[in-house]
Amino acid sequence: MSEDLPDYLRARGAISLSCAPSERRTIAARVRQEGALNIRFPRHSSRGLEGVIVNIAGGVAAGDRHAIDIHAGRGANATITTPAAEKVYRSPGGVSRIEVALSVEGDLAWLPQETILFDQARLARRLHATLSEEASLLACDITVLGRAAMGERVRSGFLRDEWRVRRGGRLIYADTLLLDGDIEATLARPGAAAGASAFATILYVAPDAEARLDETRALLDPLRSQACDVAASAWDGLLALRWLAQDARLLRASVARFLESFRGAALPRVWMT
């Protein structure tokens, strides 16, 4: 099995969602779902819209393709998440691709649960966000290499993770992570990850982003430990946080605790199940 795997054996999924304000709350003004991806909208009392993207294929395998397009219109408030960790399985050759496009004029929180890469997984992932000047975006990613509780180690594989953020038509954030080949040896280097097997990024882009740096650092102080390190920086209207951890459960708990405090609101219920 390789890159020439027949197309009918590869999972394809697409979500397109447009959120808009109504008289009482944000609504899903337009929804399109195809193939392996579905989206559900749990009932809740908040004025914001909560969407849960479900991969009915049960994981990501060699050569799968996912495309997610979310638009939050002016005045809309939406939170998009997933019901559980996304697993990316071993690939004998094909690279799976996940494309996420976020267009924000209102307030959007992109909060998928963690992605777990298995040994010899191959994944190329892109998140491209376009914001208006007054829009607000909170985006989170947690990546875990193997399931420590199962004694798994990720020795080799491929991961390309690309983030691009534009506000008012101007590129303000560009970041690309590339791990290829001997991942375990690369991350063992002190200048890389010092042996950490789980890492996370949170990006907050909003008019008040830089002004919240001191508050953010105060929230992070009690979350630091020898097994979980985190730091924050702010510039050019954005706030960026990075986590490194030896223990994925500790990392997830740290990220969740920060998000709840920073947002002043509970995480989506699926994060607690």
- At residue 271, the 3 state secondary structure works out as helix
Q: Is residue 88 part of a domain?
A: yes
Q: Is residue 107 part of a domain?
A: yes
Nearest to 246 by CA among 216, 221, 225: 225
Q: Is residue 117 part of a domain?
A: yes
pTM of the model: 0.94
pLDDT digit string, tens, across residues 194-226? 888 899 999 999 999 999 999 999 999 999 887
Output the average pLDDT for the chain: 92
Q: Is residue 7 part of a domain?
A: no
**CA pair distance 113, 128, nearest whole angstrom:** 18
Structural domain boundaries enclosing 109: 74-272
User: Domain count of the chain?
Assistant: 1
Q: Is residue 37 part of a domain?
A: no
pLDDT digit string, tens, across residues 16-57? 999 999 988 999 999 999 999 999 999 876 789 999 999 999
Q: In this predicted model, which residue has the larger pLDDT, 151 or 254?
A: 254
**CA pair distance 60, 68, nearest whole angstrom:** 14
Q: Is residue 199 part of a domain?
A: yes
Q: In this predicted model, which residue has the larger pLDDT, 5 or 251?
A: 251
pLDDT of 2 over the 50 cut? no
**CA pair distance 260, 89, nearest whole angstrom:** 30
Rounded mean pLDDT, 65-85: 97
Rounded mean pLDDT, 133-142: 98
Q: Is residue 238 part of a domain?
A: yes
Q: Is residue 106 part of a domain?
A: yes
